[in-house]
C-alpha cells in the first residue's frame, strides 16, 4: 500500500508550527479585543452565490480557484475562499443593521484551488478584521492601526512596508474606469487574453495583471489620483493625516487597486521582500457597496485579512514562547500506579500541567520525563504513601526532597 500523504496544498500543523500558530493567534486576539472588536466565526461553507456575486464572476477566485460542490439536497455550496463575504452575509442574516457600528475579528481555514507554493496553500488560515457601519475615515485609520500594532508586536514591522492607495468614491471610480477603457482599447492588440476579457467588465483588474506585456501597458496607464473629485481627495487626506498623527509609515502606490465595483476609497497592502513572490502578508480595503449588493441595507465597511502561514514564515522563532514545562508524576512500582493517577488528576485540577507515562519501570518513565522537558518529577512509591509523603525531584537544580501530600500544592506552586 502506498504511503498516505496529505492532499496536495494542505499540511498538518503540529509541533513548533502549532506553537507558532497559537502564539500569533493569541497575539491577534489580544490586540483585536484591545481595539474593541468582537469575535465572529462564520461557517466554512456558504451558498456559492455568496461568493460568486460578491467576488465577481470574472475574478480568478470565482473562475478558477473556488472549491464548489453540490450537496445531497442539490444545493450548490462553496468552501469559503475568504472571510468578508461570509461576515457580510451574517450581518444581513442576523439583522445587525440596528447594532452598527459592528466591529468583528475572526480566524479560520480558507480554501482556494491554486498551484501550491511557499506562502500559498490550498487550505490556508486567515485572521480577519472588519468594521461595518462607519463611513468616516476614522474606521480606515483604526483598522490600519490595528494591523500595524499586530505586526509590530509580532516583531516583523521592520521588514514590512504599508502600501496605500485610494480608489475614490463611486463617481471618481466611474470616471477612472472610462479613462482606463479608452486607454486600453487603444492597445487591445497588445493585451493578454485575460485582460481582454476584463476590459469591458472589470478594467481596473488589468492593473493587477502579471503578464509582462500587460505590465508595459500598465506603466503608462492613467493614474486614479487624476480622477478624484473633492470628496475623494478630502477623504484620503484625512486617512493620511490620521496615519501621520499615529506615526504609521506608508508608501503611496497608485497601482494598488481592488477591481470590484463595491470597493471604494482606501485600499492597502502590508508587503515584504522576505517571502519571495508571495510578498503580501496582510491586505484589505473599504467596501461600502458590498452589503447593499448582497441585498442588505446600504452599509459602509472596511477590513483586512492576514495569512497565518505567511506570518509564521516571517516571525522570529526566538519571539515564540516555549510551551509550559510539565511536572511528571512517576509511580514507583505497580503499587503506586493507582495513587499516581489520582494525584495527577488532583494536580491538573489545581492548575498544573502534568505528564504521566503509561508503562515501563521508573528508569524508563524518568527518561520520558526528560523527553517531555519536565520541570520536576513527583515520585509516588508504596513506602512513601504509607508515610503520607512523595518525593519531588526538581530537574533544573537537581534537588530532591520528601514532601507531605497535604503540602504538595504549596511546594509546587512556582510551577503552576
Q: What is the pLDDT of residues 254-299, one digit of tens each?
A: 888 876 667 899 999 999 988 776 689 999 999 998 999 999 999 9
Q: Is 227 annotated as a binding residue?
A: no
Instruction: State if pTM tops 0.75.
Output: yes
- For residues 11 and 166, what is the distance between their CA atoms, to the nearest angstrom? 37
60 pLDDT more than 70: no
Q: What is the pLDDT of residue 63?
A: 59
**What is the number of other CB atoms lying within 10 angstroms of the CB of residue 407?**
11
Q: What is the pLDDT of residue 179?
A: 93
* Of 106, 136, 105, 96, the residue nearest 44 (C-alpha): 106
Asked if the bond preceding 246 is cis, omega within 30° of 0, the reply is: no
In angstroms and rounded to an integer, the radius of gyration of the C-alpha atoms of the chain is 28
Q: Is 200 annotated as a binding residue?
A: no
Greater confidence (120 vs 240) lies with: 240
Sequence ranges of the domains in the chain: 15-169+229-318, 327-415
Query: Phi, psi (5° rounding) for residue 286?
Result: -95, 135
7 pLDDT more than 60: yes
237 pLDDT more than 60: yes
Q: What is the pLDDT of residue 366?
A: 85
Lowest mean pLDDT across 220-224, 329-333, 347-351: 329-333
Lowest mean pLDDT across 97-101, 257-261, 269-273, 333-337: 257-261
118 pLDDT more than 70: no
How deeply is 70 buried, as exposed, middle or buried, from its count of CB atoms within 10 A (0-12, 13-18, 19+)? exposed
Q: What is the rounded average pLDDT of the residues 123-151?
A: 97
Q: Is 177 annotated as a binding residue?
A: no
Of the ranges 137-141, 285-289, 360-364, which is most confident?
137-141
Same topology, domains 15-169+229-318 and 327-415? Answer is: no
Give 99's pLDDT tier (boundaries 50, 70, 90): very high
Q: Is 258 annotated as a binding residue?
A: yes
Q: What is the rounded average pLDDT of the residues 366-374?
A: 88
* Residue-averaged pLDDT of the chain: 90
Q: What is the pLDDT of residue 337?
A: 85
CATH architecture label of 327-415: 3-Layer(aba) Sandwich (3.40)
Q: Is 130 annotated as a binding residue?
A: yes
336 pLDDT more than 90: no
CATH architecture label of 15-169+229-318: 2-Layer Sandwich (3.30)
Percent of the chain with pLDDT strictly greater than 70: 95
344 pLDDT more than 90: yes
Q: Is 415 annotated as a binding residue?
A: no
Q: What is the rounded average pLDDT of the residues 166-195?
A: 91
C-alpha distance across the termini of the chain, in Å? 47
Q: Is 249 annotated as a binding residue?
A: no
Q: Please identify which residue in the block is written with the cell numbers 509546587.
A: 412
Q: Is 82 annotated as a binding residue?
A: yes
Q: Is 176 annotated as a binding residue?
A: no
- For residues 144 and 49, what is the distance between their CA atoms, to the nearest angstrom? 30
Per residue in 8-56, pLDDT (tens digit) is 899 999 999 999 999 999 999 999 999 999 999 999 999 999 988 777 6
Give 370's pLDDT tier (boundaries 50, 70, 90): confident
Amino acid at each position: 500500500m502506498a504511503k498516505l500523504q496529505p492532499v496536495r496544498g494542505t499540511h498538518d500543523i503540529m509541533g513548533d508550527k502549532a506553537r507558532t500558530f497559537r502564539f500569533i493567534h493569541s497575539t491577534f486576539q489580544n490586540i483585536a479585543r484591545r481595539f474593541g472588536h468582537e469575535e465572529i466565526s462564520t461557517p466554512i461553507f456558504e451558498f456559492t452565490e455568496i461568493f460568486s456575486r460578491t467576488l465577481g464572476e470574472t475574478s480568478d477566485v470565482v473562475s478558477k480557484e473556488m472549491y464548489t460542490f453540490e450537496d445531497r439536497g442539490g444545493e450548490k455550496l462553496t468552501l469559503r475562499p475568504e472571510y468578508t463575504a461570509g461576515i457580510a452575509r451574517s450581518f444581513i442574516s442576523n439583522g445587525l443593521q440596528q447594532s452598527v457600528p459592528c466591529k468583528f475579528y475572526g480566524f479560520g481555514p480558507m480554501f482556494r484551488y491554486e498551484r501550491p507554493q511557499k506562502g500559498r496553500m490550498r487550505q490556508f488560515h486567515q485572521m480577519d478584521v472588519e468594521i461595518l457601519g462607519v463611513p468616516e475615515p476614522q474606521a480606515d485609520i483604526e483598522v490600519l492601526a490595528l494591523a500595524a500594532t499586530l505586526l509590530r508586536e509580532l516583531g516583523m514591522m521592520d521588514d514590512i512596508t504599508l502600501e496605500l492607495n485610494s480608489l475614490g468614491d463611486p463617481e471618481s471610480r466611474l470616471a477612472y474606469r472610462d479613462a482606463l477603457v479608452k486607454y486600453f482599447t487603444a492597445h487591445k492588440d497588445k493585451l493578454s487574453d485575460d485582460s481582454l476579457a476584463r476590459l469591458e467588465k472589470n478594467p481596473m483588474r488589468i492593473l493587477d495583471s502579471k503578464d509582462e506585456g500587460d505590465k508595459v501597458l500598465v506603466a503608462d496607464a492613467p493614474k486614479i489620483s487624476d480622477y478624484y473629485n473633492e470628496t475623494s481627495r478630502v477623504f484620503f487626506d484625512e486617512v493620511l493625516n490620521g496615519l501621520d498623527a499615529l506615526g504609521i509609515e506608508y508608501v503611496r502606490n497608485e497601482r494598488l487597486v481592488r477591481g470590484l465595483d463595491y470597493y471604494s476609497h482606501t485600499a492597502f497592502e502590508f508587503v515584504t521582500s522576505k517571502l519571495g513572490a508571495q510578498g503580501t502578508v496582510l491586505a484589505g480595503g473599504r467596501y461600502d457597496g458590498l452589503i447593499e449588493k448582497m441585498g442588505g441595507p446600504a452599509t459602509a465597511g472596511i477590513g483586512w485579512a492576514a495569512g497565518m502561514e505567511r506570518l509564521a514564515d516571517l516571525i522570529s522563532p526566538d519571539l515564540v514562547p516555549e510551551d509550559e514545562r510539565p511536572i511528571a508524576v512517576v509511580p514507583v512500582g505497580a503499587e503506586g500506579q493507582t495513587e499516581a493517577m489520582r494525584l495527577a488528576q488532583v494536580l491538573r485540577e489545581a492548575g498544573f500541567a502534568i505528564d504521566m507515562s503509561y508503562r515501563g519501570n521508573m528508569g524508563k518513565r524518568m527518561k520520558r520525563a526528560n523527553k517531555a522537558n519536565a520541570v520536576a518529577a513527583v515520585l509516588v512509591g508504596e513506602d512513601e504513601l504509607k508515610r503520607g509523603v512523595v518525593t519531588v525531584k526538581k530537574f533544573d537544580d537537581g534537588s530532591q526532597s520528601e514532601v507531605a501530600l497535604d503540602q504538595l500544592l504549596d511546594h509546587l506552586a512556582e510551577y503552576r
